[in-house]
């Protein structure tokens, strides 16, 4: 069955992460490649994840956006590139997550020559659902779930890490 198609079970595969969720005709994002049900799930999970105490919490949005890259068009290309640079800066260059937004604003003020990167398959082994099930668990369990999700998505993009490093050098 093709991604994004509703099966006989009423579930639809998200074109980004592949999660099979009940088909809905709700909100989507104009260039993020997520099904409506997955986009709503992300918004709900993101709204209840605690803001403090979990070092990689800031990267959940970056990982989600990279896991749902959309199609090769200008906004999606810039989005994926920017979010990959964010993951690189924190996970590989040890930039404190609290400093990431300012660094990405500097990057976008003089953006590199973005280009489409073919998304990996699979695009991470975990999805936003792995965080959904960890909500309400002890903080250390939630922190481990966030780290596994974020690092899993970053690792999936390993074939493109060299290009991400080039983009990140615009900050040096």
Q: What is the pLDDT of residues 75-133, one digit of tens each?
A: 999 999 999 999 999 999 999 999 999 999 999 999 999 999 999 999 999 999 999 99
Number of structural domains, the chain? 1
- Does 113 fall in a domain? yes
pLDDT at 3: 44
Specify if 30 maps to a domain: no
What per-residue confidence (pLDDT) applies to 156?
A: 98
How high is the mean pLDDT of the chain? 92
pLDDT at 41 > cutoff 60: yes
Owning domain of residue 106 = 53-171
Q: What angle do CA 38, 41, 47 make, to 5 degrees?
A: 140
Question: Do the domain assignments include residue 97?
Answer: yes
- The dihedral through the CA atoms of 32, 33, 36, 41 has a sign that is negative
Position 92 in a domain: yes
Pick 138 or 3 by higher pLDDT. 138
């Amino acid at each position: 069955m093709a991604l994004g198609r509703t099966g006989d079970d009423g579930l639809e595969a998200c074109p980004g992460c592949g999660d099979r969720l009940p088909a809905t005709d709700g909100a989507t994002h104009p260039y993020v490649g997520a099904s409506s049900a997955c986009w709503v799930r992300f918004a709900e999970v993101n709204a209840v994840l605690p803001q403090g105490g979990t070092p990689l919490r800031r990267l959940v949005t970056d990982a989600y956006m990279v896991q749902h890259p959309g199609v090769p068009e200008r906004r999606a290309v810039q989005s994926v590139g920017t979010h990959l640079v964010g993951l690189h800066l924190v996970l590989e260059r040890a930039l404190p997550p609290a400093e990431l937004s300012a660094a990405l604003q500097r990057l976008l003020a003089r953006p590199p020559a973005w280009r489409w990167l073919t998304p990996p398959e699979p695009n991470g082994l975990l999805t936003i659902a792995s965080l959904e099930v960890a909500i309400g668990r002890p903080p250390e369990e939630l922190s481990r779930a966030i780290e596994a999700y974020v690092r899993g998505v970053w690792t999936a993009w390993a074939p493109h890490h060299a290009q991400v490093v080039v983009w990140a050098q615009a900050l040096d």
